[in-house]
Amino acid sequence: MSFKIAAAILCAASAGAQPAHPPFQARAASTIALSTFDDTQEVDITNVTFEVTPASVPGRPGAGRLLLRQTCTSKAVLEEPEPGATTLLEAWPLGTALSQKPVYTIKATGTGGQTVDGGLFVIDRGTGEVDWWSVYQLGTGRHLFDTYVPLLGFSISRETLSMRYVGFEVPPDDAADSRLKQPNVVGVIAYASAEGQLREALLTAADAKSAAGLRSYADATRTVSVVEGAPPKAIRIFIVQNAPAPPNPISLTIPLAADDIDVEHAQLPAGLHLARWKR
């Protein structure tokens, strides 16, 4: 429990206010173990953290805080580059005994996760070679999308905070969805809200060789940003080839309209195509 939350509870008690939730205590141990096998050393680490959500969590029916328990485990052989790591997130209504079944559980490979804006949970799935993240709805545990660029968040309104999030998935060669294995696929653009809205568009190239270069993890770098102007906002995707190849930068601009990506009016380089897509 954070200092601010603890201080708020103490102040309420001193004023004679009734607690909003039944009192309880929970403990969880973080551990580390170092072992030696045949002249190699292995480190096993388990870290456990607790977090309390805001009073209203998007996607969760009604009001009510959630208690989150995140367990991150990793196993690494020293002197080897990449440890194996797993992140487990469990959620209960605040005040519920943790011996009861969680309202949802998220488990994925990854080095840890964090809540974003009180509405999302994002797990860092990256390896030494590829950076990527999985994005979940905090209120339900529902997986929204994966992104191979850092999650982009912005408000679609100047008057009120109405957050939307954008990611760009670059599917691996062994993607579970057979449609993403097609040689002309470049990636999937996701536009989502913490309330569960999800719109996606599939970016393809007419030339399979060009698509392979744009899709490459090692040979291309991708960035996503928000463009201000008229229309009020647009999404820009920028892809550049890494050295020693010539940069050959390409830029795509996708306007936003009626709280959606306006695929039909996207500005694309010759040879690229963008279409509505649904999982």
Q: Is 122 exposed, middle or buried (0-12, 13-18, 19+ CB in 10 A)?
A: buried
Do residues 168 and 91 make contact, with C-beta atoms less than 8 angstroms apart? no
- Distance (Å, rounded) from C-alpha 225 to C-alpha 113? 22
H-helix segments, the chain: 3-14, 208-215
pLDDT in tens, 19-29: 467 777 777 88
Rounded CA-CA distance 217/63 in Å is: 42
pLDDT tens track for 262-272:
999 999 999 99
What pLDDT, on a 0 to 100 scale, did the predictor assign at position 27? 77
State the pLDDT at residue 98.
93
**Spatial separation of the C-alpha atoms in residues 154 and 233, rounded to whole Å:** 10
pLDDT over 50 at 14, yes or no: no
Question: CB-based contacts of 120: which residues, under 8 Å, 6+ apart?
Answer: 135, 136, 137, 138, 144, 151, 165, 194
- Asked if 260 and 231 count as a contact pair (C-beta separation under 8 A), the reply is no
When pLDDT is cut at 50, 70 and 90, the band that residue 279 belongs to is: confident
Q: How confident is the model at residue 6 (pLDDT cuts 50, 70, 90)?
A: very low
Strands of 7-129, DSSP E: 31-37, 40-52, 66-77, 84-93, 104-109, 113-116, 120-124
Q: Which is more confidently placed, 279 or 39?
A: 279
Q: Residue 275 pairs with which residues in a beta bridge?
A: 202
**Could you tell me the residue ranges of all domains in the chain?**
24-115, 142-279
pTM of the model: 0.88
Neighbours of 227 (CB within 10 A): 14
pLDDT tens-digit series, residues 91-147: 999 999 999 999 999 999 999 999 999 999 999 999 878 999 999 999 999 999 999
Name the pLDDT band for 160 (thresholds 50, 70, 90). confident
Residue 215's nearest CA partner among 175, 256, 244, 253 is: 175
Q: Identify the pLDDT of residue 107.
A: 98
Residue-wise pLDDT for 192-237, tens only, equals 999 999 999 999 999 999 999 999 999 999 999 999 876 668 999 9
Alpha-carbon gap, residue 72 to 164, rounded angstroms: 28
The Cα–Cα gap between 275 and 270 comes to 15
Instruction: Quote the pLDDT of residue 16.
Output: 42
In this structure, how many other beta carbons lie within 10 angstroms of the beta carbon of residue 236?
14
Structure tokens at 261: 């990506």
Q: What is the pLDDT of residues 21-75, one digit of tens each?
A: 777 777 788 899 999 888 788 899 999 999 999 999 998 887 789 999 999 999 8
